[in-house]
Amino acid sequence: MIEILTNRLMLIPCSLDIAKSLVFHRKELEQRSPIEFPLNWPSPYVKGFLPYYIECLEKEDEESYECGLWLIIKFEEKKIIGDILMQGKPNKEGIVELSYHVDELFNDESIAYEAVDAFIDWLTYHKSVKKVIMECSIAQNQAIRLYNRLGMICSKKDGEILVWEIQKKDLQ
């Protein structure tokens, strides 16, 4: 299984077994896992995505794990603190859309930056992704600061939604 390691974090793709356990056997998963699953994780957005994700993983091969839900784990504490959702495989132009969520207790900007930056680096190196797109509302000041810090550019405003993108220069 792939692991992306940073100074404080480990990012791993959510396996079919973990996804199914989150939906159908959460209490047993919490008891058996060496990793702590916070009560407020996954986010409502990811909870709604899990049935679709499970269905896709059952139809596809193991490589599909890389193109879906990733767990952000603070490895010193052995605790899931958030997730990154890769919304499908990169298209033929090398473009992929991401979203992220970090638990409120750990949601300092440095943790989110460390996780998203490491994930984008992995995508551009291992998956030949040329452009990453992320969205936020105009009221999400923390996300806007994060995207600016990552070097992303706001490319579009659609009502209350801002669309951000980053292109890796070395892949153009």
pLDDT of residue 65: 61
Closest by alpha carbon to 135, among 111, 110, 114, 163?
163
Distance (Å) of CA 106 to CA 19, 41, 72, 152: 22, 12, 11, 23
- Contact yes or no for 132/144 (Cβ under 8 A): no
**78-104 pLDDT tens trace:** 999 999 999 888 899 999 999 999 987
**16-26 pLDDT tens trace:** 999 999 999 99
| Topology (CATH level 3) of domain 4-171 | Aminopeptidase (3.40.630)
pLDDT of residue 77: 92
Does residue 64 have a pLDDT over 70? Answer: no
Does residue 36 have a pLDDT over 80? Answer: yes
pLDDT of residue 87: 87
- Euclidean distance between CA atoms 71 and 11, whole angstroms: 5
State mean pLDDT over 33-53.
89
Residues 6+ apart with CB under 8 A from 47: none
The residue ranking higher by pLDDT, 154 or 109, is: 154
pLDDT of residue 24: 92
pLDDT of residue 171: 42
State mean pLDDT over 95-122.
90
* Domain residue ranges in the chain: 4-171
At 172, the pLDDT band (50, 70, 90 cuts) reads very low
